[in-house]
């Protein structure tokens, strides 16, 4: 069952979708990427597949997406919205432990917030494609703050992701030590799409992702 919610952000109310299966054991507070909102088919499919495994989700809009703007809000606004979403999740499903993160920008802004001060109730972070650098600009600067994140982190990364060179992601995770777990999705790009000639399907990739999230979260 999915319930529509609203909660306050620094720029006014934003929408959220709470999907809470019966006997849920965990709630994933999941932010969207830079170019598409919480109703994107990929996030919808992830939410449905997680629900089948007993994991609820709270998907939410950043203020710029709520206002139908193209340019993302400044990091401070995005990070404050992450914290507001976690408050809304705690109020909506208070008995459940939380994990947080999301797709690309949403995951990075969640980790930015966590690096500055602990996210109350959050047991770990899950990145659905951490955007380590712009396409073709191999760099590690966007990962500098991760050393200050004090909860376990799961990195789900595709081998064809142009926003995260796999060698650099491996280096980042190596530096983070036991706090970081890396799962590589063969043939997937930044949107977790796979080529037809690979013989894989997008639905199969989603099942792989949620399977890894379920196993990792079960060990927290």
pLDDT digits (tens, 9 = 90+) for 168-184: 999 999 999 999 999 99
Give this prediction's pTM.
0.96
Query: Which range of residues forms the domain containing residue 48?
Result: 2-218
Domain count, the chain: 1
Q: How confident is the model at residue 199 (pLDDT cuts 50, 70, 90)?
A: confident
Structure token pair of residue 20:
């809470």
Give strand pairing partners of 8. 13
Q: E strands of the chain, at which residues?
A: 2-9, 12-19, 26-31, 55-60, 98-103, 122-128, 153-158, 180-185
**Nearest-angstrom CA–CA distance, 76 and 46:** 27
Around 155, how many Cα atoms within 13 Å sit in the side-chain half-sphere? 30
CATH classification of the domain holding 189: 3.40.50.1820
Per-residue tokens: 89: 């999740």
pLDDT of residue 30: 98
Sequential DSSP letters for 120-178: TTEEEEEEES---SSTT----GGGGGGGG--S-EEEEEETT-TTS-HHHHHHHHHHHGG
pLDDT at 196: 86
């Amino acid at each position: 069952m999915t319930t529509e919610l609203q909660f306050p952000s620094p720029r006014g109310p934003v929408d959220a979708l709470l999907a809470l299966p019966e006997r849920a054991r965990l709630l994933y507070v999941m932010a969207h990427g830079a170019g598409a909102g919480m109703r994107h088919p990929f996030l919808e499919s992830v939410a449905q597949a997680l629900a089948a495994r007993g994991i609820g989700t709270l998907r939410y809009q950043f203020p710029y997406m709520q206002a139908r703007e193209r340019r993302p809000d400044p990091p401070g606004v995005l990070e404050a919205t992450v914290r507001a979403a976690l408050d809304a999740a705690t109020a909506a499903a208070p008995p459940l432990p939380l994990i947080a993160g999301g797709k690309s920008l949403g995951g990075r802004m969640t980790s930015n917030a966590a690096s500055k001060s602990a996210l109350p109730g959050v047991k770990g972070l899950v990145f659905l494609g951490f955007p380590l650098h712009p396409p073709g600009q191999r760099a590690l600067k966007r990962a500098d703050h991760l050393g200050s994140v004090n909860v376990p982190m799961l990195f789900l990364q595709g081998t064809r992701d142009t926003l995260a060179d796999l060698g650099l992601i491996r280096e980042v995770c190596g530096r983070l030590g036991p706090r970081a777990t890396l799962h590589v999705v063969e043939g997937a790009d930044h949107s977790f799409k796979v080529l037809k000639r690979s013989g894989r399907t997008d639905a199969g990739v989603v099942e792989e992702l949620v399977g890894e999230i379920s196993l990792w979260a079960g060990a927290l």
